[in-house]
């Protein structure tokens, strides 16, 4: 990896960097990316983006639903809600008023391995954005009263998920693919776990896990690295002490106790929603770029095999696509389709045929070239706004502890060969299949979807 160091020594990997030092990770016409390791173990990464008028700010925390014991399922997400309520310096209403007054956005999301608190504002409002994000992440009071109000709100969010067949399907698919594993559990928790979660349990989860070495503060936009550092120091003050090393990114090999299966959610829906797929690569696997091209060619666009076979030739579905998810120690490649209940069997078998064909014969040269083009264009077009640039550097540092330039990523995509893809397709698509169905079936035995291996 090429890193042009300018202001400090130390490793290219943020969690090994020398405390108090700053490194320049990239400097081009398109901007500059810098990283500082502050006392206390907090990493600050910024990207100066020329020509924009805004700033996106995000605190990335390496805490997610997989860190929960079963008795506090949903704690990470519930906590994310609670942090926007009263803090030691502001009421929930003041927080809302301050961000609304500048027309900015302040929000958060919780995933299985991380949580991100972010703001998007005009560049002149950067000081407010930094202060607000730091305030909610560190100074939330988590009062009993806030806890009770937010409990109803989280229960409403679960009910809303239950009314959205695609969201429900996604959670069902994870439980089908990774049964009896924390990654197979829904981020939202269950109605029962949320109803029973105590203030004490949640507060302990917060205080034990929300520590600086588990965090990356990322900012992208019309900003200067030095200004961001000044604002972070002002907001976090006495917390920034001690020669503490950040925690290294999660890594390992998932131990998943049970085999993939078929999960049915009986719902009286018009469409039947199907997701099927296999366990694939973790995010540290170098073949992830190969998987990206394979996924694009399988079901990433209108010219993909699945779109052509399922929608264009047969009109079976309005939506059909494949997607890839990766965690620190496992991942999946899955296919979604929404179809009429009486055409589910046909659709599932068309999808299986497509997968089996690619597993056997790989992709054509034209498909490989198109898949690469799609990834290249999508990568560059997807980085036009400051929010996606902030996510790229923040999530990258948190999950890899490393920085890859856009040019380096493009280079990795270009290096993928048809042979790499054929090998990977053969390996992944011979794995056991998991499937989830949301639709009007009374019993799982009535669902016309087979889950034995595609390759037999």
The residues in 161-180 that bind a copy of itself, with binding defined as CB under 8 A, are 162-165
Q: Are 298 and 312 in contact (CB under 8 A)?
A: no
Does residue 342 belong to the site contacting a copy of itself (CB under 8 A)?
no
80 as an active site residue: the answer is yes
Q: Are 172 and 436 in contact (CB under 8 A)?
A: yes
The residues in 278-317 that bind a copy of itself, with binding defined as CB under 8 A, are 296, 300-304, 307-308, 311-317
CB count within 10 Å of CB 147 equals 18
- Give me the catalytic one of 32, 80, 309, 367: 80
Does residue 415 belong to the site contacting a copy of itself (CB under 8 A)?
no
Q: Given candidates 131, 150, 282, 420, which one binds a copy of itself under the rule CB under 8 A? A: 150
**Sheet holding 331-339: strands in order across?**
262-266, 434-439, 272-279, 331-339, 317-326
The residues in 380-409 that bind a copy of itself, with binding defined as CB under 8 A, are 380-381, 384-386
Beta carbon of residue 115, minimum distance to a copy of itself (angstroms, whole number): 18
- Residue 137: C-alpha distances to residues 146, 169, 174, 285 (Å): 15, 31, 29, 32
Distance CA 451, CA 432 (A): 7
Does residue 364 belong to the site contacting a copy of itself (CB under 8 A)?
no
The residues in 196-255 that bind a copy of itself, with binding defined as CB under 8 A, are none
Q: Which residues pair with 55 in a beta bridge?
A: 121, 221
Does residue 440 belong to the site contacting a copy of itself (CB under 8 A)?
no
Q: Given candidates 4, 100, 207, 258, which one binds a copy of itself under the rule CB under 8 A? A: 100
Q: Given candidates 214, 283, 370, 389, which one binds a copy of itself under the rule CB under 8 A? A: 370
Residue nearer to a copy of itself on the CB measure, 319 or 430 = 319
- Tell me the window of 131-139, 148-156, 256-264, 394-402 that interacts with a copy of itself (CB under 8 A): 148-156
Q: Say which residues have a Cβ less than 8 Å from residue 432's Cβ, sequence separation at least 6.
A: 259, 260, 278, 451, 452, 453
Distance CA 73, CA 191 (A): 10
For residue 117, the surrounding DSSP H or E stretch is: strand 115-122
- Tell me the window of 97-105, 130-138, 241-249, 425-433 that interacts with a copy of itself (CB under 8 A): 97-105
Phi, psi values for residue 183, rounded to 5°: -65, -20
- For 282-312, the DSSP string reads -TT-TTHHHHHHHHHHHHTSTTSHHIIIIII
Q: Given the DSSP bridges, would you call strands 54-61 and 43-48 parallel, antiparallel or unpaired?
A: unpaired
Q: Given candidates 190, 269, 323, 405, which one binds a copy of itself under the rule CB under 8 A? A: 269
| Per-residue contact flags (x/-) with a copy of itself for residues 39 to 78, judged by CB under 8 A | -----------xxxxx------------------------
Residue nearer to a copy of itself on the CB measure, 153 or 444 = 153
Beta carbon of residue 147, minimum distance to a copy of itself (angstroms, whole number): 11
Catalytic residue numbers? 80
């Amino acid at each position: 990896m090429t890193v042009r160091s300018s202001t400090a020594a130390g490793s290219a990997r943020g969690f090994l960097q020398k405390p108090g030092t700053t490194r320049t990770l990239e400097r081009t016409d398109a901007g500059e990316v810098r990283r500082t390791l502050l006392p206390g173990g907090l990493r600050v990464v910024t990207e100066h983006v020329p020509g924009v008028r805004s700033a996106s700010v995000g605190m990335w925390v390496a805490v997610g639903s997989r860190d929960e014991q079963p008795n506090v399922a949903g704690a990470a997400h519930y906590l994310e809600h609670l942090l926007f309520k009263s803090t030691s310096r502001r009421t929930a209403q003041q927080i809302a008023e301050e961000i609304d007054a500048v027309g900015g956005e302040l929000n958060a999301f919780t995933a299985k391995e991380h949580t991100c608190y972010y703001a998007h504002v005009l560049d002149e409002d950067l000081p407010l954005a930094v202060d607000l994000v730091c305030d909610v992440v560190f100074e939330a009071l988590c009062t009993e009263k806030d806890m009770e109000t937010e409990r109803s709100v989280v229960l409403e969010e679960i009910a809303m998920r239950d009314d959205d067949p695609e969201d429900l399907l996604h959670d069902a698919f994870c439980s089908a693919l990774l049964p009896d594993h924390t990654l197979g559990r829904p981020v939202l928790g269950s109605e029962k776990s949320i109803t029973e979660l105590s203030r004490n349990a949640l507060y302990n989860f917060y205080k034990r896990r929300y520590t600086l070495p588990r965090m990356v503060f990322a900012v992208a936009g019309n900003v200067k690295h030095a200004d961001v550092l000044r604002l972070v120091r002002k907001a976090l003050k006495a917390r920034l002490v001690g020669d503490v090393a950040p925690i290294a990114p999660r890594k390992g090999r998932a131990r998943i106790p049970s085999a993939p299966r078929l999960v049915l959610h009986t719902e009286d829906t018009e469409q039947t929603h199907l997701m099927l797929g296999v366990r694939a690569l973790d995010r540290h696997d170098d073949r992830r770029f190969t998987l990206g091209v394979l996924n694009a060619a399988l079901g990433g666009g209108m010219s993909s095999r699945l779109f052509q076979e399922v929608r264009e030739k047969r009109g079976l579905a309005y939506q059909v696509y494949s997607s890839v998810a990766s965690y620190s120690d496992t991942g999946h490649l899955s296919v979604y389709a929404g179809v009429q209940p009486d055409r589910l069997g046909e659709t599932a078998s068309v999808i299986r045929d497509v997968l089996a064909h690619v597993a056997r014969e790989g992709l054509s040269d034209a498909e490989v070239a198109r898949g690469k083009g799609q990834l290249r264009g999508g990568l560059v077009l997807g980085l036009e706004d400051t929010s996606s640039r902030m996510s790229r550097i923040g999530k990258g540092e948190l999950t890899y502890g490393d920085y890859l330039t856009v040019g380096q990523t493009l280079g990795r995509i270009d290096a993928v060969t048809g042979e790499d893809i054929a090998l990977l397709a053969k390996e992944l698509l011979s794995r056991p299949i998991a499937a989830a169905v949301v639709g009007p079936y009374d019993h799982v035995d009535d669902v016309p979807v087979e889950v034995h291996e595609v390759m037999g």
